[in-house]
């Protein structure tokens, strides 16, 4: 107690800056000037964190009445492909990959 006098104030615990103050540009620049390590990272797509999203409007899909299908090839084309594949000793999987 001999070290304290009437003119000095002893601070036992000082509250640190709030999260908003610590993230401000001014606080980052001040920390850089003091030579402290500053780690900054940007959140990626933070405003778009959605579990499910619909790529097309369902009302627009309901209005579309177009039939979507592929034209079929004749049986002869399939047989020619099959014979060519078998003559080379390939399976259907080998031909597809």
pLDDT in tens, the chain (97 residues): 556 677 887 778 777 778 777 778 898 898 889 988 888 777 766 666 666 666 667 777 777 777 777 888 899 999 999 999 999 999 999 989 8
Rg, C-alpha atoms of the chain: 36
pLDDT of residue 74: 93
Nearest by Cα to 40 from 30, 51, 25: 25
pLDDT of residue 55: 64
pLDDT of residue 54: 61
pLDDT of residue 78: 92
């Amino acid at each position: 107690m001999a070290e304290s006098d009437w003119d000095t104030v002893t601070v036992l615990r000082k509250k640190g800056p709030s999260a908003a103050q610590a993230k401000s540009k001014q606080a980052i620049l001040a920390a850089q000037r003091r030579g402290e390590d500053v780690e900054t990272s940007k959140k990626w797509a933070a405003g778009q964190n959605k579990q499910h999203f619909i790529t097309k409007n369902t009302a627009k899909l309901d209005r579309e009445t177009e039939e979507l299908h592929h034209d079929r090839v004749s049986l002869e084309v399939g047989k020619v492909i099959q014979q060519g594949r078998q003559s080379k000793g390939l399976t259907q999987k080998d031909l597809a990959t």
